[in-house]
């Protein structure tokens, strides 16, 4: 059986983070980070299948 894909969402807007988490969590395992530093810590601690990032933070 395939493992659920793991997605990291990075955005400095808490509302966007919560919205994206709610939309994706029914199908995917979702982690969020509010800034680049948090994202790097998560990326170094575990593998992700996809990283969705706000380019202007």
| 1-57 tens-digit pLDDT | 569 999 999 999 999 999 999 999 999 999 999 999 999 999 999 999 999 999 988
In a domain, 54, yes or no: no
pLDDT number for residue 57: 82
In a domain, 37, yes or no: yes
The contacts of residue 54 (CB under 8 Å, 6+ apart) are: 10, 11, 12, 13, 16
Structural domain of residue 43, as residue ranges? Answer: 6-47
Is 57 within 8 Å of 15 (Cβ atoms)?
no
In a domain, 10, yes or no: yes
In a domain, 52, yes or no: no
Q: Across the chain, where does the E strand assignment appear?
A: 6-10, 29-33, 50-53
The phi and psi torsions of 6 (rounded to 5 degrees) equal -110, 120
In a domain, 57, yes or no: no
pLDDT number for residue 43: 98
**How many structural domains is the chain composed of?**
1
What the block records as the tokens of 24 is 């994706």
In a domain, 56, yes or no: no
């Amino acid at each position: 059986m395939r493992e659920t894909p793991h997605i990291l969402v990075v955005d400095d807007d808490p509302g966007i983070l919560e919205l994206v988490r709610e939309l994706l969590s029914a199908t995917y395992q979702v982690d969020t980070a509010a800034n680049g530093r948090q994202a790097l810590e998560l990326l170094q601690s575990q593998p992700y299948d996809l990283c969705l990032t706000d380019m202007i933070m």
